[in-house]
Structure 1
C-alpha cells in the first residue's frame, strides 16, 4: 500500500519458511532433514549456557 493504492503480488509457492515444516516432520518421523540431532543438542546447550551466564537487570 502506498499513495498510489493497494498492490497484490502472487507469491504462492515462491516464499515461505520450509525449515519449520521439515522440523516438525523430523520430530514425527524421527529423521534429521531440517537439523541433525547433534545440532539441536548444541543449540540447546548454548541456550542453557547463555541463561546460566546472563545478568539479571531489575
Structure 2
C-alpha cells in the first residue's frame, strides 16, 4: 500500500542492516553528464519570446 511508511514496510535485522550499509558505502558513484545544447539568454525580449512560446501569448 502506498501509504505505508518505509519503516513499517521493511523490517531490518542487525545483520541485514549492516549488509545494506556496507553495500551503500562500497557502491560506485555515478557521473551524470547532460548532453544537451545550452544557450544563455539575457535579453529581456528574447526571454519574453521564449516564455510566450511555452505559456502562450500573454495579455498585457
Pairwise same-fold verdict (TM > 0.5): no
TM-score by length of 2: 0.31
Which structure: larger Rg?
Answer: 2
